[in-house]
Amino acid sequence: MDWNTLFFVILPYVALALAIGVTIYRSVYRPFSISSLSSQLLERRQLFWGSISFHWGITIILTGHLVALFIPQSIVLWNAQPLRLYLLELSGIALGLWATAGLAILIWRRVTVGRIRVVSTPMDYVVLALLLVSLITGVITATVYRWGSYWFTGIFTPYIWSILTFRPDAAPLATLPLTIKLHVFNFYLLALAFAFSRLVHIIAWPLGYLLRPWQIVIGLRKARVVSQE
Ligand code: HEM
Protein backbone atom coordinates (compact mmCIF):
# COMPACT_ATOMS: atom_id res chain seq x y z
CA MET A 1 0.00 0.00 0.00
CA ASP A 2 1.34 3.49 -0.85
CA TRP A 3 1.22 6.64 1.33
CA ASN A 4 -1.47 8.24 -0.83
CA THR A 5 -3.84 5.32 -0.22
CA LEU A 6 -3.00 5.24 3.49
CA PHE A 7 -3.57 8.98 4.06
CA PHE A 8 -6.41 9.68 1.65
CA VAL A 9 -8.38 6.42 1.56
CA ILE A 10 -7.77 4.35 4.72
CA LEU A 11 -7.37 7.28 7.14
CA PRO A 12 -10.64 9.00 6.07
CA TYR A 13 -12.67 5.84 6.70
CA VAL A 14 -11.01 5.18 10.09
CA ALA A 15 -11.46 8.84 11.11
CA LEU A 16 -15.08 9.07 9.96
CA ALA A 17 -16.02 5.70 11.52
CA LEU A 18 -14.54 6.75 14.88
CA ALA A 19 -16.07 10.23 14.70
CA ILE A 20 -19.55 8.83 14.04
CA GLY A 21 -19.32 5.70 16.25
CA VAL A 22 -17.81 7.30 19.35
CA THR A 23 -20.07 10.38 19.05
CA ILE A 24 -23.17 8.15 18.99
CA TYR A 25 -21.79 6.20 21.98
CA ARG A 26 -21.19 9.43 23.92
CA SER A 27 -24.62 10.84 23.05
CA VAL A 28 -26.37 7.65 24.25
CA TYR A 29 -24.30 6.65 27.29
CA ARG A 30 -22.76 9.96 28.41
CA PRO A 31 -25.13 12.64 27.06
CA PHE A 32 -23.93 15.31 29.50
CA SER A 33 -20.39 15.00 28.14
CA ILE A 34 -21.52 16.52 24.82
CA SER A 35 -20.39 20.01 25.69
CA SER A 36 -17.81 22.64 24.85
CA LEU A 37 -17.09 22.90 28.61
CA SER A 38 -17.41 26.66 28.51
CA SER A 39 -14.79 28.66 30.40
CA GLN A 40 -16.67 31.94 30.10
CA LEU A 41 -16.99 32.22 33.88
CA LEU A 42 -13.20 32.16 34.22
CA GLU A 43 -12.38 34.81 31.60
CA ARG A 44 -14.75 36.58 29.22
CA ARG A 45 -13.06 39.53 27.46
CA GLN A 46 -10.48 37.60 25.37
CA LEU A 47 -13.02 34.82 24.89
CA PHE A 48 -15.46 37.28 23.30
CA TRP A 49 -13.01 38.59 20.69
CA GLY A 50 -11.37 35.22 20.01
CA SER A 51 -14.49 33.11 19.92
CA ILE A 52 -16.62 35.44 17.77
CA SER A 53 -13.87 35.90 15.14
CA PHE A 54 -12.92 32.23 15.07
CA HIS A 55 -16.46 30.82 14.95
CA TRP A 56 -17.86 33.24 12.37
CA GLY A 57 -14.78 32.94 10.16
CA ILE A 58 -14.56 29.17 10.23
CA THR A 59 -18.32 28.65 9.84
CA ILE A 60 -18.50 30.77 6.68
CA ILE A 61 -15.35 29.15 5.24
CA LEU A 62 -16.59 25.61 5.87
CA THR A 63 -19.98 26.56 4.39
CA GLY A 64 -18.04 27.62 1.27
CA HIS A 65 -16.28 24.23 1.22
CA LEU A 66 -19.69 22.52 1.48
CA VAL A 67 -21.14 24.60 -1.38
CA ALA A 68 -18.18 23.46 -3.54
CA LEU A 69 -18.96 19.88 -2.51
CA PHE A 70 -22.74 19.86 -2.94
CA ILE A 71 -23.39 22.47 -5.67
CA PRO A 72 -20.08 22.78 -7.54
CA GLN A 73 -21.89 24.14 -10.63
CA SER A 74 -22.78 27.30 -8.66
CA ILE A 75 -19.09 27.98 -7.97
CA VAL A 76 -18.08 27.31 -11.58
CA LEU A 77 -20.81 29.65 -12.86
CA TRP A 78 -19.97 32.34 -10.30
CA ASN A 79 -16.28 32.18 -11.24
CA ALA A 80 -17.05 32.56 -14.95
CA GLN A 81 -16.45 36.32 -14.57
CA PRO A 82 -12.94 37.22 -13.35
CA LEU A 83 -14.18 40.00 -11.05
CA ARG A 84 -16.45 37.58 -9.20
CA LEU A 85 -13.62 35.02 -8.96
CA TYR A 86 -11.33 37.65 -7.38
CA LEU A 87 -14.11 38.68 -4.98
CA LEU A 88 -14.69 35.08 -3.87
CA GLU A 89 -10.99 34.34 -3.43
CA LEU A 90 -10.30 37.59 -1.55
CA SER A 91 -13.28 37.01 0.74
CA GLY A 92 -12.03 33.46 1.45
CA ILE A 93 -8.55 34.69 2.34
CA ALA A 94 -9.92 37.56 4.49
CA LEU A 95 -12.22 35.16 6.37
CA GLY A 96 -9.32 32.72 6.80
CA LEU A 97 -7.15 35.46 8.33
CA TRP A 98 -10.03 36.61 10.56
CA ALA A 99 -10.58 33.05 11.85
CA THR A 100 -6.80 32.62 12.36
CA ALA A 101 -6.61 35.86 14.37
CA GLY A 102 -9.52 34.65 16.52
CA LEU A 103 -7.87 31.28 17.06
CA ALA A 104 -4.57 32.99 17.97
CA ILE A 105 -6.44 34.94 20.71
CA LEU A 106 -8.01 31.69 21.98
CA ILE A 107 -4.61 29.94 22.07
CA TRP A 108 -2.99 32.92 23.81
CA ARG A 109 -5.82 32.97 26.37
CA ARG A 110 -5.49 29.26 27.11
CA VAL A 111 -1.72 29.48 27.54
CA THR A 112 -1.45 32.74 29.50
CA VAL A 113 -4.57 32.94 31.71
CA GLY A 114 -3.77 30.85 34.80
CA ARG A 115 -7.38 29.92 35.57
CA ILE A 116 -7.93 28.64 32.01
CA ARG A 117 -4.63 26.73 32.03
CA VAL A 118 -5.68 24.84 35.15
CA VAL A 119 -8.86 23.51 33.51
CA SER A 120 -7.14 22.65 30.18
CA THR A 121 -6.36 19.11 29.07
CA PRO A 122 -3.64 17.98 26.62
CA MET A 123 -6.44 17.28 24.10
CA ASP A 124 -7.49 20.97 24.21
CA TYR A 125 -4.00 21.95 23.02
CA VAL A 126 -3.97 19.19 20.37
CA VAL A 127 -7.28 20.46 18.94
CA LEU A 128 -6.13 24.09 18.93
CA ALA A 129 -2.89 23.12 17.18
CA LEU A 130 -4.75 21.07 14.55
CA LEU A 131 -7.20 23.92 13.89
CA LEU A 132 -4.28 26.31 13.49
CA VAL A 133 -2.65 23.99 10.92
CA SER A 134 -5.96 23.76 9.01
CA LEU A 135 -6.35 27.53 8.87
CA ILE A 136 -2.72 28.32 8.00
CA THR A 137 -2.44 25.67 5.27
CA GLY A 138 -5.85 26.78 3.93
CA VAL A 139 -4.77 30.41 3.64
CA ILE A 140 -1.44 29.35 2.06
CA THR A 141 -3.31 27.15 -0.42
CA ALA A 142 -5.67 29.99 -1.34
CA THR A 143 -2.81 32.48 -1.72
CA VAL A 144 -0.08 30.42 -3.38
CA TYR A 145 -2.00 27.89 -5.50
CA ARG A 146 -4.55 30.07 -7.26
CA TRP A 147 -7.45 29.72 -8.09
CA GLY A 148 -8.47 27.15 -5.52
CA SER A 149 -12.21 27.75 -5.65
CA TYR A 150 -11.98 26.73 -9.30
CA TRP A 151 -9.84 23.60 -9.11
CA PHE A 152 -11.52 22.45 -5.86
CA THR A 153 -14.55 21.49 -7.94
CA GLY A 154 -12.38 19.58 -10.43
CA ILE A 155 -10.20 17.67 -7.94
CA PHE A 156 -11.73 17.62 -4.47
CA THR A 157 -15.45 17.44 -5.25
CA PRO A 158 -15.04 14.10 -7.16
CA TYR A 159 -12.52 12.85 -4.57
CA ILE A 160 -14.78 13.48 -1.54
CA TRP A 161 -17.79 11.99 -3.35
CA SER A 162 -15.66 8.92 -4.20
CA ILE A 163 -15.01 8.49 -0.45
CA LEU A 164 -18.63 9.14 0.56
CA THR A 165 -20.00 6.68 -2.00
CA PHE A 166 -17.48 3.95 -1.03
CA ARG A 167 -15.73 3.99 -4.43
CA PRO A 168 -12.52 5.65 -3.20
CA ASP A 169 -10.26 7.21 -5.79
CA ALA A 170 -7.43 9.31 -4.34
CA ALA A 171 -5.25 9.16 -7.46
CA PRO A 172 -5.77 12.89 -8.37
CA LEU A 173 -4.33 13.88 -4.98
CA ALA A 174 -1.03 12.06 -5.49
CA THR A 175 0.66 14.88 -7.41
CA LEU A 176 -0.67 17.83 -5.38
CA PRO A 177 1.79 20.09 -3.54
CA LEU A 178 2.64 19.11 0.05
CA THR A 179 0.81 22.08 1.65
CA ILE A 180 -2.48 21.10 0.02
CA LYS A 181 -2.01 17.45 1.02
CA LEU A 182 -1.30 18.57 4.59
CA HIS A 183 -4.48 20.70 4.53
CA VAL A 184 -6.61 17.64 3.71
CA PHE A 185 -4.63 15.17 5.88
CA ASN A 186 -4.99 17.54 8.84
CA PHE A 187 -8.77 17.55 8.39
CA TYR A 188 -8.75 13.78 8.94
CA LEU A 189 -6.67 14.23 12.10
CA LEU A 190 -9.33 16.68 13.31
CA ALA A 191 -11.99 14.10 12.48
CA LEU A 192 -10.02 11.54 14.54
CA ALA A 193 -9.88 13.95 17.50
CA PHE A 194 -13.54 14.99 17.09
CA ALA A 195 -15.31 12.49 19.34
CA PHE A 196 -12.55 12.50 21.97
CA SER A 197 -12.47 16.26 22.51
CA ARG A 198 -14.56 19.39 23.05
CA LEU A 199 -15.06 19.51 19.28
CA VAL A 200 -17.97 17.13 19.82
CA HIS A 201 -20.04 20.13 21.00
CA ILE A 202 -20.59 20.92 17.30
CA ILE A 203 -23.43 18.39 17.24
CA ALA A 204 -25.15 19.96 20.25
CA TRP A 205 -27.82 22.07 18.58
CA PRO A 206 -29.92 23.60 21.36
CA LEU A 207 -33.16 22.81 19.49
CA GLY A 208 -34.79 21.56 22.70
CA TYR A 209 -35.27 25.20 23.71
CA LEU A 210 -37.79 25.62 20.89
CA LEU A 211 -40.01 22.78 22.08
CA ARG A 212 -39.74 22.62 25.83
CA PRO A 213 -42.31 24.33 28.09
CA TRP A 214 -41.73 27.71 29.68
CA GLN A 215 -39.33 27.68 32.53
CA ILE A 216 -39.83 30.22 35.30
CA VAL A 217 -36.73 30.96 37.32
CA ILE A 218 -37.46 32.36 40.77
CA GLY A 219 -34.58 33.82 42.76
CA LEU A 220 -34.52 33.27 46.49
CA ARG A 221 -33.38 36.16 48.62
CA LYS A 222 -33.26 36.35 52.36
CA ALA A 223 -36.24 38.37 53.59
CA ARG A 224 -35.19 41.66 55.09
CA VAL A 225 -36.17 41.99 58.74
CA VAL A 226 -38.03 45.24 59.13
CA SER A 227 -38.03 46.68 62.59
CA GLN A 228 -41.52 47.27 64.04
CA GLU A 229 -40.44 50.07 66.34
C1 HEM B 1 -11.27 21.62 9.37
C2 HEM B 1 -11.45 21.65 8.10
C3 HEM B 1 -10.97 22.75 7.21
C4 HEM B 1 -10.68 24.05 7.50
C5 HEM B 1 -10.71 24.75 8.84
C6 HEM B 1 -10.30 24.70 6.27
C7 HEM B 1 -9.90 26.00 6.17
C8 HEM B 1 -9.57 26.63 4.99
C9 HEM B 1 -9.21 28.02 4.85
C10 HEM B 1 -9.11 29.02 6.00
C11 HEM B 1 -8.99 28.28 3.56
C12 HEM B 1 -8.59 29.62 2.95
C13 HEM B 1 -9.81 30.45 2.66
C14 HEM B 1 -10.63 29.97 1.52
O15 HEM B 1 -10.17 30.07 0.37
O16 HEM B 1 -11.75 29.50 1.77
C17 HEM B 1 -9.17 27.02 2.84
C18 HEM B 1 -9.01 26.87 1.50
C19 HEM B 1 -9.08 25.68 0.85
N20 HEM B 1 -9.42 24.45 1.38
FE21 HEM B 1 -9.90 24.10 3.29
N22 HEM B 1 -10.37 23.76 5.25
C23 HEM B 1 -10.77 22.57 5.78
C24 HEM B 1 -10.96 21.39 5.12
C25 HEM B 1 -10.68 21.18 3.77
C26 HEM B 1 -10.83 19.94 3.06
C27 HEM B 1 -11.30 18.62 3.71
C28 HEM B 1 -10.47 20.16 1.78
C29 HEM B 1 -10.44 19.23 0.61
C30 HEM B 1 -10.78 17.99 0.62
C31 HEM B 1 -10.10 21.56 1.64
C32 HEM B 1 -9.67 22.17 0.49
C33 HEM B 1 -9.38 23.52 0.37
C34 HEM B 1 -8.98 24.18 -0.86
C35 HEM B 1 -8.80 23.53 -2.22
C36 HEM B 1 -8.78 25.53 -0.56
C37 HEM B 1 -8.40 26.67 -1.51
C38 HEM B 1 -9.65 27.41 -1.89
C39 HEM B 1 -9.36 28.72 -2.59
O40 HEM B 1 -8.23 28.99 -2.96
O41 HEM B 1 -10.32 29.47 -2.78
N42 HEM B 1 -10.24 22.14 2.88
N43 HEM B 1 -9.53 26.05 3.75
Instruction: Give the CATH number for residue 15.
Output: 1.20.950.20
**Domain-embedded: residue 225:** no
Report the predicted TM-score, pTM, of the whole model to 2 decimal places.
0.89
Residue 138 lies in a domain: yes
Residues 31, 32, 35, 39, Cα dihedral to 10°: -170
Share of the chain above pLDDT 70, in %: 92
Distance separating alpha carbons of residues 198 and 51, to the nearest angstrom:
14
Q: Domain total for the chain?
A: 1
Examine residue 221 and state whether it is found in any structural domain, yes or no: no
93 Cα: distance to centroid of ligand 1 (angstroms): 10
Domain assignment of residue 224, yes or no: no
Q: What is the pLDDT of residue 204?
A: 82
If one residue of 60, 98, 152 were mutated to test the ligand 1 pocket, choosing by the most ligand atoms within 8 A of its CB, it would be: 152
CB within 8 Å of 145: residues ≥ 6 apart: 151, 177, 179, 180
CA 79–ligand 1 middle distance (angstroms): 17
Domain-located, residue 216? no
Residue bearing the bigger pLDDT, 184 or 204 = 184
Q: Is 194 in the pocket of ligand 1 (CB under 6 A)?
A: no
The domain in which residue 27 lies consists of: 3-211
Longest pairwise C-alpha distance within the chain:
92
The more confident residue out of 227 and 97 is 97
pLDDT tens-digit readout, 137-194: 999 999 999 999 999 999 999 999 999 999 999 999 999 999 999 999 999 999 999 9
Atom index in ligand 1 nearest the CA of residue 159 equals 30
> Is 43 part of any domain?
yes
Residue 181 lies inside a defined structural domain of this protein = yes
95 CA: nearest ligand 1 atom: 13
Residue 228 lies in a domain: no
Task: Report residue 227's pLDDT band, with 50, 70 and 90 as the boundaries.
Answer: low
Q: 109: closest CA among 47, 197, 52?
A: 47
pLDDT of residue 100: 98
Lowest mean pLDDT among 42-46, 50-54, 71-75, 217-221: 217-221
